[in-house]
Structure 1
C-alpha cells in the first residue's frame, strides 16, 4: 500500500508486487516470514546433526543430554533479560545481533566436528552460545511479529507464518536426516550457519518506524519487576506458560535425546529419525492450514486440549513403534501443537 506522506512529499506508488499481497501481509510480515523459513530450514537439520555429532564422537545418551541442556540453560537464564533488552533497543537490531551470534557459534561447531575428534566441552560451549542468542532473539521476534499484523485477519496471518516456518522445518528435518547419514553432521551444521547469515540479512531490512519510541523510565530491574507484575496479574497467561514449560521440557528431551538414541539403536540411524521429524513437520503444516479456516470460539481451551497428544511421541519411542507408526504419531502431534501455537499467538495479539 502507498504510505501517506507529509505535505510537499511526492506521492509514493504502490508496487505491483505489493498490490498482489493481502492487505495484512505487509513488508515486515513478508520479511519475517521469509527469514523464519530460512532459519527453520537449517535449524531442524542442525538439531539432528548436533545429536549425531555427539554420538559419532563416541558420546552416549548422557552426553547428548548434556549438549541439549547446554542450549536450554541459557534460554531459561536470559529469556527475561532478552525481553527487557528488546523493549529498550530497536528490535531488528537485537534480532540481527542474535542471528550473528547463532551464525558464528554454528560455524565454529561445524568446524570442530569437521576437523575431527570434537570434545564434549566444545560442543556444550558452542551450543550454549546458540541458546543465548535464541534467548535474546525470541522476545524481539515475537514482539516484531505481533506488531506487523492487525485486524480480524491476524489469526490467518499467524497461521500462514507458522505454516511457512513449519513447512521449512519439515523439509529441513527430512533433508537434514538424509544429509547427516550421507555426508555427516559437520556439513549440516555448516549449512545452518549459512541459514542464520541469510536470515539475519533479511531481518536487517525490517522497518521499526511504526513502533513508538520508548519513554524514559526506570532501569532494567525496574522493567523486569513491572513485567513480572503484568505476567502474574493475568491468571490465564501464567497458567498456560507454566503448563507449557513442562511440555517443552518433556518434548525437548524426547526430540533432542531420547529420539536420536532410539533411532540409533532400534530404527536404523539418522535417516529414519529425520523421516519421523519430517512427519511431525507435515503435521504442523496441516495444523496451520486447519487454523487458516477454523477460528475456535474459545481458542485457549482448544489450544490447551491439543497439548495432550504431545505425550504420544514419547510413548511411541518407548515401545518403540516401527518407523511408519512413529511417523503417524508424530504427524498427529504436529497438527495438535500447531493448533495450540496459532491459538496462543492470536490470544496474545488480542490481549497483550
Structure 2
C-alpha cells in the first residue's frame, strides 16, 4: 500500500525539493498580489471598481492571449529555463507596480502596461510548470508529487493571505507588491538551479513549425472529451470566479465587511481549506477521477451565495474553507489524470489549451464585474456568480467522457501505477 512515508520520500530528491521550494515561494509572492493590488488601486485618488476592473483585465487578457505560445515554448525548450524566465519577468512587473504606488506616479496606462507584462510572464510560466512535473517525478508518484506541490502552494496562500492584509494595513499596497516581486525573483533563481539536462526533454521537438505544433496539441486536446468538456465548464466558471474574487468580493468587503482585513480572512479561509484538501488528495484514489473532480465544483458556489445573502463573516470564511478543499482535490485529480493520459511531448501544449479555454472568459468577468455591480448591486452580482458556477457544473456532468473515464486499476488500488498509454 501507499504510505505517507513513501510519498514524503520525494522530498529527498534534490530536483523535486528545488521545484517545490521555487513553487512555494512563487505562490507566496502571488498571495500578496490580490489584496495588495485590489486595495492599492482602490485607494488611489478617484479610483473605483471600474478602475480596478481595467487593471485586472490588463493582467488577465495577455495571460489568455499568449497562453498557446507559452505551451509551444515549454514543449520546445527546457521547461526549467522557461519557468526561470517567467518568474524573473513577473518579478520585474511587480517591482514596477510597487514603484508606481510607492512614488505616487500612477497613470492608468502605466499601471495597465506593468500588469500586462505580468500576464505575459504567467502565460509562459504556467504550461511549463504543468509539463515539468512528469520530467522530475516518477510516474507512480505523480499524484503524491502534485499533492506535495499543492501543500507548499497552499501553505503559502495561507501565510500570504494573512500577511498581505497586515502589510497593506500597516505599510500600504506598494510595499506588499514589492514583496511579491522579491519572491518571484527568488523563485526564478531556485528554478535556475534545477539544471535539467537536454536528454531529459523529448527528442525532435524543434522539427515542426509553431503552427504544426499547435495543430498537434489541438488534436491531443480535442480527442479527449473529458478534457474539452471540463475546460468549457471552467471557461464559464472562471468568468464568475474572477468577477467574484477579483472585484466583487473586495468591493463588498470595502462596502460592508470591514475592508482589507475581512477580505484577507476570506482568502485565508480558502487557503486553509486547500491545505486540508491536500490530506484528502494524497489518499484519494477514485475509480472515476474526472467525475469526482467535477462533482467537487458544486460547493464552489456556496461562498458566493453567502456573500450575496449577508451571511456573517465567520460563516463566509467557513464557506471559503469548503471552496478551498474542493479546489485543491479537483486540481490534484485533474493534473494527475492529464499527466497520465496525455503524451509527455505534448503535455505543455495540451496544458496551454486547457489554461486558454479555462481562462478565456476571465477577463470578461473582470471587465463586467464593476459595471454589473453598479447596475444591480454588489450582493446581487455575487449571487449571480454562484448561479453560473452551479449551472456550468451541472452541464459538464451530462458528458459521458466526464462520467466514465476510469483511472488505471493500480492507481485506484493505491499501488504504484505503471505509465499508461494516451487514450485516443
TM over 0.5: yes
1:41 to 23, 28, 45: 28
1:296 to 286, 302, 310: 286
Where does residue 159 of structure 1 map in the other structure?
Answer: 147
Residues 201-250 of structure 1, C-alpha deviations (whole Å, 9 max, x = no match): 00001132222343442211111111111111111111111112222221
Structure 1 residues 303 and 91: CA distance shift in structure 2, 3 A: same
1:53 to 40, 43, 47: 40
**Mapped contact 1:25–1:149 kept (Cα < 8 A):** no
Q: Secondary structure at the match of 1:153?
A: helix
Q: Which ranges of 4 or more aligned residues in structure 1 deviate by more than 6 Å?
A: none
1:318 to 308, 316, 319: 308
1:238 aligns with 2:228: yes
CA drift of 1:62 comes to 1.1
Q: Secondary structure at the match of 1:152?
A: helix
1:251 aligns with 2:251: no
Where does residue 384 of structure 2 map in the other structure?
Answer: none
Structure-1 separation of matches of 2:106 and 2:10: 50
Structure 1 residues 278 and 23: CA distance shift in structure 2, 3 A: closer
Residues 260-279 of structure 1, C-alpha deviations (whole Å, 9 max, x = no match): 10111111110111011000
1:308 aligns with 2:298: yes
Structure-2 separation of matches of 1:214 and 1:225: 16
**Mapped contact 1:267–1:322 kept (Cα < 8 A):** no
Where does residue 390 of structure 2 map in the other structure?
Answer: none
- The CA RMSD measured in Å over matched residues stands at 1.7
Structure-2 separation of matches of 1:251 and 1:270: 19
1:276 aligns with 2:260: no
Residues 140-166 of structure 1, C-alpha deviations (whole Å, 9 max, x = no match): 111111322123332122111101111
Structure-2 separation of matches of 1:214 and 1:66: 42
Residues 9-50 of structure 1, C-alpha deviations (whole Å, 9 max, x = no match): xxxxxxxxxx99615752222111111111111211111110
The alignment's TM-score, normalised by the length of structure 2, stands at 0.76
Structure-1 separation of matches of 2:294 and 2:204: 34
The alignment's TM-score, normalised by the length of structure 1, stands at 0.91
Paired residues for 1:75-90 under 5 Å: 75-90=63-78
**Mapped contact 2:76–2:205 kept (Cα < 8 A):** no
Which structure 2 segments of 5+ residues have no match? 1-5, 343-424
Structure-2 separation of matches of 1:27 and 1:142: 19
Structure 1 residues 119 and 132: CA distance shift in structure 2, 3 A: same
**Mapped contact 2:303–2:323 kept (Cα < 8 A):** yes
Q: Secondary structure at the match of 1:321?
A: coil
Structure-2 separation of matches of 1:271 and 1:68: 20
Where does residue 392 of structure 2 map in the other structure?
Answer: none
Structure-1 separation of matches of 2:147 and 2:10: 15
Where does residue 59 of structure 2 map in the other structure?
Answer: 71
Which structure 1 segments of 5+ residues have no match? 1-18
Residues 178-206 of structure 1, C-alpha deviations (whole Å, 9 max, x = no match): 21111100000000000001000000011
Structure-1 separation of matches of 2:15 and 2:55: 34
Q: Secondary structure at the match of 2:140?
A: coil
Structure-2 separation of matches of 1:97 and 1:155: 27
